[in-house]
Amino acid sequence: MDLKKVKVGLVGSGNISYTYLNTLTKFSIIDMVGCSDLIPEKSKARAELFGIRQMTTEEILADPEIEIVVNTTELFNHNKVTKMILEAGKHVYSEKAMGDNYEGAKANYDLAREKGLRLGSAPDTYMGAAYQTARKLIDDGMIGIPLLAYALCFRGYPFHAMPMELPKTFGQHGSSITYDMAGYYINALVALLGPVKRASGYSRFFEDRMYINTAHPRYGQKIDKNTGETVMMGNLEFENGCYASLAMCSEGFPPEIPRVEILGTEGTLILPDPNYFGGWGRDVYLTRAGNPGEKFKVPFTHGFSDTDPNEPPKSGRREPCHNSWRGIAVVDMAYAIRRGRPHRSSAELALHTVEILTAIDNSNADNKVYTIETRPERPAPLKPGFYGNPLVMEASIDL
């Protein structure tokens, strides 16, 4: 490789840091330097597991060689930590959502532009095998002109007792499910269809919900209002003319029901859960005019499907999303820096999600339809046909 490696640090060595470090230590463009956490035992454990340095956040920010810092802190810390990293003069890749409120996210967007720094945010599952295959099918005209899309996520947080774990500050704008999950669906739709032009919708907190998991310490009690809106229906108009419904609900029950469908003049795409990269039963189906009623499973055209979920994480404990490729947008950002090209998970794309969610909430309050100001480019597709080990697939990211 003739490109100089990009040194990366990670702030927030909690649950999801496992999958990031697992990904980032596999790619030749990345030199994963170290990780930090407010709780030193957490960063120590991650550093030892992945053979990197345990650092403090201050050390990461002061290291002149580290170019990108990955922010895997909790959602309510994203705006604050991202601001700190940008002020230290480093590029940032944040976990989703970019921020828990539009004002803070927009301020960081402006700060990054002012300083000429790169900013991007998860999710990057749209770069996976399933959604890249779908992108190719749409770009190749297999469904004609896209007219309608449905995106639905129906989950059961009370059952899993998750609202207990949400911070008190959470819920002024958006809610658990919207800020936690809608980004997967919005990024996937924008990667397939382009940016959203107008948004409106409804959202509410489901007042009568109780903690229904008998193992939960507050079993039988009413759920606190400050968890934010937990039922949301958004109406999106894309710049290309396609309309979409975006339905998010965390008041359901397991197993989760994810649905994404894109309907066009000549065919329909039925797509898997955008919380995953694809594979292991998460497939892409196509119906075509001319074969009415027939649903074809489309072989993936791209690499980066999920790895074997039955293979245990090397930490030996439960690690969420351990078999995924979360973090490949950081690899893309590293190549983009070296090649002087735009990175796929752009700051505009990250802010777009927060702006859309804010617009839906505001629309619920004032009955207006909002024009969305951010107009991200569709992230460039990956090159098709690169399968196998990460070093082979890496070439499909480097445009």
Ligand X SMILES: NC(=O)c1ccc[n+]([C@@H]2O[C@H](COP(=O)([O-])OP(=O)(O)OC[C@H]3O[C@@H](n4cnc5c(N)ncnc54)[C@H](O)[C@@H]3O)[C@@H](O)[C@H]2O)c1
Residues 75-94 that bind ligand X (CB under 6 A): 75, 77, 81
Give dist(CA 16, CA 124) in Å, integer.
14
Give dist(CA 165, CA 146) in Å, integer.
39
Give dist(CA 243, CA 193) in Å, integer.
10
Least distance in angstroms from the C-beta of 178 to ligand X = 12
Residue 100 CA, distance from chain mean position: 14
Q: Which of 14, 144, 309, 384 binds ligand X (CB under 6 A)?
A: 14
- 39 counts as binding ligand X under rule CB under 6 A: yes
Give dist(CA 221, CA 142) in Å, integer.
51
By the 8 A CB rule, do 371 and 398 touch? Answer: no
Which residue number, 318 or 341, has a Cβ lying nearer to ligand X? 318
Give dist(CA 384, CA 399) in Å, integer.
11
Which residue number, 71 or 200, has a Cβ lying nearer to ligand X? 71
Give dist(CA 274, CA 131) in Å, integer.
8
Contact segment (CB under 6 A) with ligand X among 67-75, 143-151, 259-267, 376-384 equals: 67-75
- Written as six digits, the tokens of 22 are 């697992």
Least distance in angstroms from the C-beta of 100 to ligand X = 9
- 320 counts as binding ligand X under rule CB under 6 A: yes
Contact segment (CB under 6 A) with ligand X among 8-16, 124-132, 244-252, 266-274 equals: 8-16
By the 8 A CB rule, do 143 and 137 touch? Answer: yes
158: left (phi over 0), alpha (psi -120 to 50) or beta: alpha
Contact segment (CB under 6 A) with ligand X among 33-41, 44-52, 276-284, 286-294 equals: 33-41
Give dist(CA 337, CA 27) in Å, integer.
15
Q: Is the dihedral of CA 162, 174, 188, 138 positive or negative?
A: positive
Q: Which of 23, 54, 73, 323 binds ligand X (CB under 6 A)?
A: 73
Q: Which of 95, 100, 306, 332 binds ligand X (CB under 6 A)?
A: 95
Q: Which of 5, 15, 209, 259 binds ligand X (CB under 6 A)?
A: 15
Residues 160-189 that bind ligand X (CB under 6 A): 180
Count of residues for the chain?
399
Q: Is the dihedral of CA 179, 74, 317, 52 positive or negative?
A: positive
Give dist(CA 321, CA 324) in Å, integer.
6
Q: Which of 157, 201, 158, 196 is nearest to 180 (CA)?
A: 157
Contact segment (CB under 6 A) with ligand X among 37-45, 62-70, 156-164, 286-294 equals: 37-45
- 37 counts as binding ligand X under rule CB under 6 A: yes
Q: Which of 8, 30, 33, 36 binds ligand X (CB under 6 A)?
A: 36
Which residue number, 73 or 362, has a Cβ lying nearer to ligand X? 73
Contact segment (CB under 6 A) with ligand X among 22-30, 68-76, 104-112, 244-252 equals: 68-76
- Could you tell me the end-to-end alpha-carbon distance of the chain, in angstroms, rounded to an integer? 15
- Written as six digits, the tokens of 123 are 């999710």
Residues 241-300 that bind ligand X (CB under 6 A): none
- 12 counts as binding ligand X under rule CB under 6 A: yes
Which residue number, 48 or 373, has a Cβ lying nearer to ligand X? 48
Contact segment (CB under 6 A) with ligand X among 44-52, 69-77, 230-238, 370-378 equals: 69-77
Which residue number, 95 or 283, has a Cβ lying nearer to ligand X? 95
Footprint of ligand X (CB under 6 A): 11-16, 36-39, 42, 57, 72-75, 77, 81, 95-96, 180, 320-321
